């Protein structure tokens, strides 16, 4: 951590009841810094409780005073500040405090917040006790974009102040490595690795890897010419700065080259670069490069350290996390592979700037999928968000989607059970891809597959039919196909028979029962499957 970073203010915000004041006070003690509780300061200024300021002078007067205080605090250094719950809803206040400090948002669920504020008297925005739950949900919904724009999100549910403080300190340390970076740890049976997430991280990649125990010296950057043209130079420069000797190892472009033959050409390039068992093998590219490089790293000299630097949205939120690597055979996709956990994953959301719009949309299908599986708030954000968000919102969206993948792979690292939920939409989707002769992209097939799976849930009476409309609208909003006229349902159902993910002879589907509640069902009955598919085909 640099001195400069030590002096930056630490600003804790979040909804009432998330623990900003408790955590802030303890953190200030731990770091020997001055603690500023903005609400307390404002009460002193007004000479009365905030509820009285609201009642007697009105909310706008309070917000004006809050804005002035934010501007004043931004002039100081070395503070730990806990803001009022609504203070950073105003983007001007976020910008002012963010100039000289690190912003962190503490989060909790509606029920957890309700539990914590149940007995509170001075909560002017909450009103009558009986209506509090609804009021909290409405306010959280209204503030979700503002809170979501804060780079560091810290979940407080069920955690002690000590655990939260440790996460704040880890975020602070990470910020010293690369400003604005978030670190998401992933626990695996073999240990733990970090996902470093931020805008512009490629420039810091060398130090990020050296700080995570990767040995400077020869290293491979495996990529293709399209990705190399945009991003290899920045990565190689940053690696050199940290003492690595990067060798560019090129693979041909496209899924058709995700083969053992290409892996063999990578081994040749690794040997020519004199890589040994400790030399990092770095995948710089989308899921094709990541899967193939991971397999090459798992097998070269019986295993070398592997690093993922995903460059497509799909590979950021899905393929780069979880350790599944492999190649295709003429008989089918991903038929040969290995579990190989990365030593680190570096997600630089800025590289998405060069990604073609159709590839971005394809990745959004997986983001939406993760929202349905385990992040209802993410799904709701996508219902109103821009098709191609930028800046902090972008990072937030990737972070939320990755968190879902982390939770699932931590629970089931070797795909023995629960991890199958990540295949939501894939039984229909793969078959649609196959029947289209791969003219329909993977993400497009997944989007159509998720819609079909939601129809299936509805016709089976397992979900509210209104969910189907919400799913269709969100896909449409993010430029994904929502219907597939002109295709034959018989051919698609026949193609499902070839799905590698079939368990024995059963036909397996993942269906949503509600947002955040997906289940695995086997052989639901072909008539229901035909009915659901027919609704997507317009029949």
Pick out residues in 279-298 that bind ligand NAD (CB under 6 A): 285-289, 291
**426 belongs to the catalytic site:** yes
CB of 320 to ligand NAD, least distance (A): 8
**Residue 18, token pair as written in the block:** 């998330």
66 near ligand NAD (CB under 6 A)? no
Written as six digits, the tokens of 214 are 């990767």
Of the listed 66, 359, 366, 444, which one is catalytic? Answer: 366
Judged by CB under 6 A, the stretch of 178-186, 206-214, 355-363, 515-523 that binds ligand NAD is 355-363
Cβ distance to ligand NAD smaller for residue 258 or 396: 258
Cβ pair 324, 415 in contact under 8 A: yes
**412 contributes a contact to ligand NAD by CB under 6 A:** no
Q: Which is nearer to ligand NAD, 33 or 258 (CB)?
A: 258
Contacts to ligand NAD from residues 160-179, by CB under 6 A: none
Contact 379, 368 (CB under 8 A): yes
Contacts with ligand NAD, 358-397, as mask; x by CB under 6 A = -x--x-----------------------------------
Q: Using alpha carbons, select from 198, 89, 143 the residue that is nearest to residue 381.
A: 143
DSSP tag of 420: G
322 near ligand NAD, judged by CB under 6 A: yes
Residue 430 appears among annotated catalytic residues: yes
- 312 interacts with ligand NAD by CB under 6 A: yes
Q: Which two tokens stand for residue 417?
A: 């059970």
Please pick, among 33, 396, 419, 455, the residue that the annotation labels catalytic: 419
Of 214-222, 233-241, 265-273, 312-320, which segment contacts ligand NAD by CB under 6 A?
A: 312-320
Report, in Å, the least distance between residue 292 CB and ligand NAD: 8
Q: Is 317 in the site for ligand NAD (CB under 6 A)?
A: no
Based on the residue annotation, tell me whether 324 is a catalytic residue of this protein: yes
DSSP percent split of the chain into helix, strand, coil, nearest 5: 55, 15, 30
**Contact flag: residue 224 with ligand NAD (CB under 6 A):** yes
* Residue placing its CB nearer to ligand NAD in the complex, 246 or 294: 294
The CA distance from 401 to 140, in Å, is 20
Residue 423: active-site member:
yes
Q: Specify whether 419 is catalytic.
A: yes
The angle at the Cα of 53, spanning 57 to 71, to the nearest 5 degrees, equals 95
Q: Which residue stretches of 193-317 are H helix?
A: 205-210, 225-241, 260-272, 287-299, 313-314
Instruction: Output the smallest distance, CB 316 to ligand NAD, in A.
Output: 9
**Number of residues engaging ligand NAD in binding (CB under 6 A):** 29
391's tokens: 């800046």
Q: Which is nearer to ligand NAD, 13 or 325 (CB)?
A: 325
User: From the CA atom positions of the chain, what is the Rg in Å?
Assistant: 25
Q: Give least dist CB 380 to ligand NAD, A.
A: 24
DSSP 108-168: --HHHHHHHHTT-S--TTT-SGGGHHHHHHHHHHHHHHHHHTSSEEEE-TT--HHHHHHHH
Among 316, 395, 390, 345, CA closest to 103: 395
Where in 225-264 is the site for ligand NAD (CB under 6 A)?
226-227, 230, 253, 255, 258
Q: Put residue 158 in one of left, alpha, beta given phi > 0 → left and psi -120 to 50 → alpha.
A: left
Binding to ligand NAD in span 431-470, by CB under 6 A: 442
Whole-angstrom distance, CA of residue 432 vs CA of residue 17: 47
Nearest distance, CB of residue 122 and ligand NAD, angstroms: 49
C-alpha distances out from residue 435 to 286, 496, 504, 533, Å: 24, 10, 22, 14
Of 8, 132, 204, 324, catalytic: 324
Residues in touch with ligand NAD (CB under 6 A): 224, 226-227, 230, 253, 255, 258, 285-289, 291, 311-312, 314-315, 318-319, 322, 324, 333-334, 351, 354-355, 359, 362, 442
Which are the catalytic amino acids? 302, 324, 366, 405, 415, 419, 423, 426, 430, 442
């Amino acid at each position: 951590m640099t001195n400069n970073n030590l002096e930056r203010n630490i600003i804790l915000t979040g909804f009432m009841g998330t623990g900003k004041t408790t955590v802030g006070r303890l953190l200030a003690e731990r770091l020997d810094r001055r603690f500023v509780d903005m609400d307390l300061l404002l009460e002193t200024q007004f000479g009365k409780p905030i509820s009285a300021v609201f009642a007697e002078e009105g909310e706008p007067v309070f917000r004006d005073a809050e804005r002035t205080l934010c501007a004043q605090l931004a002039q100081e250094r070395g503070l730990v500040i806990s803001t009022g719950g609504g203070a950073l809803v105003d983007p001007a206040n976020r910008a002012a405090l963010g100039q000289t400090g690190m912003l962190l948002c503490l989060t909790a669920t509606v029920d957890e917040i309700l539990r914590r504020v149940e007995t509170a008297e001075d909560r002017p925005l909450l009103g009558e006790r009986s209506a509090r739950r609804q009021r909290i949900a409405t306010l959280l919904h209204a503030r979700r974009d503002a809170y979501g724009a804060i780079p560091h999100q810290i979940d407080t549910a069920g955690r002690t102040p000590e655990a939260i403080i440790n996460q704040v300190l880890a975020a602070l340390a990470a910020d010293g490595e690369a400003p604005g970076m978030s670190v998401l740890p992933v626990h695996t049976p073999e240990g733990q690795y970090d996902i470093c997430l931020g805008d512009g991280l490629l420039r810091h990649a060398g130090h990020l890897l050296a700080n995570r125990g990767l040995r400077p010296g020869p290293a491979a950057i495996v990529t293709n010419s399209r990705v190399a043209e945009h991003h290899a130079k920045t990565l190689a420069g940053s690696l050199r700065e940290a003492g690595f000797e990067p060798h560019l190892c090129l693979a041909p472009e496209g899924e058709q080259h995700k083969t053992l033959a290409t892996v063999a050409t990578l081994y040749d390039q690794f040997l020519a670069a004199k890589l040994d068992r400790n030399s990092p093998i770095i995948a710089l590219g989308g899921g094709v490069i990541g899967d193939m490089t991971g397999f090459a790293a798992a097998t070269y000299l019986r295993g070398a350290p592997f690093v993922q630097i995903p460059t497509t949205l799909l590979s950021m939120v899905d393929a780069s996390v979880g350790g599944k690597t492999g190649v295709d055979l003429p008989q089918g996709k991903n038929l040969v592979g290995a579990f190989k956990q990365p030593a680190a994953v570096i997600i630089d959301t800025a590289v998405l700037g060069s990604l073609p719009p159709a590839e971005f949309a394809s990745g959004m299908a997986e983001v939406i999928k993760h929202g349905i599986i385990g992040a209802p708030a993410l799904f709701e954000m996508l219902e109103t968000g821009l098709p191609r968000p930028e800046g902090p919102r972008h990072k937030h969206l990737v972070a939320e989607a990755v968190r879902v993948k982390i939770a699932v792979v931590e629970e089931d690292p070797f795909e023995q059970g629960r991890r199958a939920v990540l295949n939501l939409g894939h039984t229909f989707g793969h078959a649609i891809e196959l029947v289209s002769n791969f003219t329909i992209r993977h993400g497009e097939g997944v989007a159509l597959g998720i819609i079909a799976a939601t129809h299936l849930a509805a016709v089976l009476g397992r979900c509210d039919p209104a969910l189907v409309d919400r799913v269709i609208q969100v896909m449409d909003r993010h430029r994904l196909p929502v219907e597939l006229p002109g295709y034959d349902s018989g051919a698609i159902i026949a193609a499902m028979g070839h799905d590698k993910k079939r368990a024995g002879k059963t036909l397996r589907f993942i269906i949503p029962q509600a947002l955040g509640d997906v289940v695995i069902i086997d052989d639901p009955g072909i008539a229901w499957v035909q009915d659901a598919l027919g609704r997507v085909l317009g029949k």
